[in-house]
Homo-oligomer: A and B are copies of this chain.
Amino acid sequence: MKTAVVAIGGNAILMAGEEATLENQMANLRRTCAYLARMIKNGYDMVLTHGNGPQVGNVLLQNELCRYDVPAMPLEVCVAESQGQMGYMIQQAMTEAVRSEGLAKVVTCVLTRVIVDSNDPAFDCPTKPIGPYYSEEEAIELRETKGWTLVEDLRRGGYRRVVPSPEPVAIVEKSAIRRLVFGGEFQPEIVIAAGGGGIPVLVENGVYKGVEAVVDKDLAACVLACDIQEKLLILLTDVDYVYLNYGTENAIPLHNPTTEDLERFESEGHFPPGTMGPKIKAAVRFLRHGGERVIITSPGLLENALDGRAGTQIIR
């Protein structure tokens, strides 16, 4: 039995500048899911995880704008809402795609909480911008009334809330996810899990307490893959390879780097924190914690990448 944890980026669902309609998101998803369905046709089962940046931003914006009519929910509840919204869209698009390949798999979405550590230094230093832009007056009020951290965005000329982005420690629903994808006597399901990096919770006296933070989806995918003892982690993005000197005329695609190579390149500043950085961190961590193989590539190269003929391949 071949299985993988596959992470798809926000661009696979909503491209920059595109209007966040259901139609646009479904059209993008259908394109991406066609490649994933091909992989399933080729004998793989999968746990699929996804980013939620634009979508949770919109849920936050709705909560903000309507706060006098509907009580605003804290960030972790907005993440849960985005998992519902996006999980549904993805399961619909995936069902269509696997059906086109002649398969009748059930695509199941498990609402997923991710445990983070209250001692994580990220809680002292929120860095992840999220939600709408505010005026200086609004920013001052939000700091006072809600205790938010807001920073000025000089490019856009407004203030924006920043929230902590702590490291994921463990997936609460790991046993359920494992049971669904490793079928045993049953037909395995295609499982959608840990959407948007998961709903962040702290553990306090054996129960879970939601916390206003966001978890990087690639790092969450790594923890999920480790927790369910998966061996193959696939991080899909909008570039075909991991590059050195990305975006310059000296850009060099990496085909088979070692984890040591990647750590050296990272320390040399080749992988920006907001884009390739978390993927490299997730890849190295996965291979040091029981994982066997990581592929970083674009959806269009997935089939060739699985055969070892494309994409950045990192082996333990």
Contact = CB atoms under 8 A, between A and B. Distances in A.
A258 interface: no
Contacts of A176: 106, 108, 180, 189
A85 to B, nearest CB: 5
Contact of A175 (B65, B88, B91, B189): B189
Number of copies: 2
Contacts of A104: 206
Given A71-B20, A89-B77, A207-B96, A109 B106 contact: no
Contact of A110 (B62, B96, B109, B186): B109
B180 A210 contact: no
A56 to B, nearest CB: 11
Contacts of A82: 81, 84
A216 to B, nearest CB: 20
A123 to B, nearest CB: 20
Contact residue range for chain A?
Answer: 35 or more
Contacts of A73: 22, 85
A87 interface: yes
24 contacts: A22-B71, A62-B70, A65-B69, A77-B88, A80-B84, A80-B85, A80-B87, A84-B87, A87-B111, A88-B111, A92-B201, A92-B207, A92-B210, A96-B207, A99-B207, A108-B173, A108-B176, A110-B110, A175-B186, A175-B189, A176-B189, A179-B179, A179-B186, A184-B184
